[in-house]
Amino acid sequence: MRTLENAPLHGQRSHVKRGPGRALYDRKVLDEILDTTLMCTVAQSIDGQPFATPTCHWREGDYVYWHGHAKARNLAIGQEVCVNIAQLDGLVLARSAFHHSVNYRSATLFGQAEAITDPLEKARQFERFVDKVSPGRWAHLRPMTDNEAKATGLVRLHINEASSKIRATGVNDDEADLNWPVWAGIIPLEKHWGKPQQEAQTAVFELPETPLKAY
């Protein structure tokens, strides 16, 4: 299977119409957004009723994955879905309400959700997911049982029709407002994890000192 790094990455549905100057159809940019974000929203339509479900995701190669209860609606097996990922990077405070904005990175993907049923592949992907959340943790956990694997559904979406949209600039005030007497600028959003809180139990174990990404 060919990789898509040098292939066209957008189709009719993913063409950005509002703010096209901020749109990117670069596969490397898309991968970076997918890999540095933990949660996405899966949108679908069932019998004319729209649904949007937040869930955790991960990527391997040309596919993005998510999981859920084997009978969960958000698995959307065999259905057309729209997956959106968004990261807030900062507030943009202007001299007028009209020009207030946010700096962000986002991506939208379209396609059909495909079920993964092979037990070995499911276990491998679940390990990738856990290690994305907490690197190296899977190896220390109680092994997954067959019943747990059967109760957990896994799907993937081929990364083919997609677009990214990024705002990473400063205030865009009108020239006539530049002398208006109010502070204007960017307030960056800084992300970090807090102090771990030990779960109540009889035995106390040290949390391995593995670096966690601040998604």
Domains in the chain: boundaries: 20-170
Residue 17 is predicted with a pLDDT of 52
Residue 9 is predicted with a pLDDT of 61
> CA 159, 60, 21, 55 torsion: positive or negative?
positive
Residue 57 is predicted with a pLDDT of 97
Residue 37 is predicted with a pLDDT of 96
Q: What are the φ and ψ backbone dihedral angles of 112, each rounded to 5 degrees? A: -110, 130
Residues 6+ apart with CB under 8 A from 32: none
7 CB burial (10 A radius; 0-12, 13-18, 19+):
exposed
Query: Position 40: which residue type?
Result: C
Residue 13 is predicted with a pLDDT of 57
Considering the four listed CATH numbers 2.40.30.20, 2.40.50.140, 3.40.50.970, 2.30.110.10, the one that applies to the domain covering 20-170 is 2.30.110.10
pTM for this model (two decimals):
0.85
Which helix (H) or strand (E) segment is 103 a member of? strand 101-112
Residues in the chain, pLDDT under 70: 1-22
Residue 4 is predicted with a pLDDT of 45
The CA distance from 195 to 119, in Å, is 36
Residue 201 is predicted with a pLDDT of 73
Residue 47 is predicted with a pLDDT of 87
Residue 190 three-state SS: coil
Residue 171 is predicted with a pLDDT of 97
Question: pLDDT (tens digit, 9 = 90+) per residue, 150-201?
Answer: 999 999 999 999 999 999 999 999 999 999 999 999 999 999 998 888 887 7
Residue 195 is predicted with a pLDDT of 87
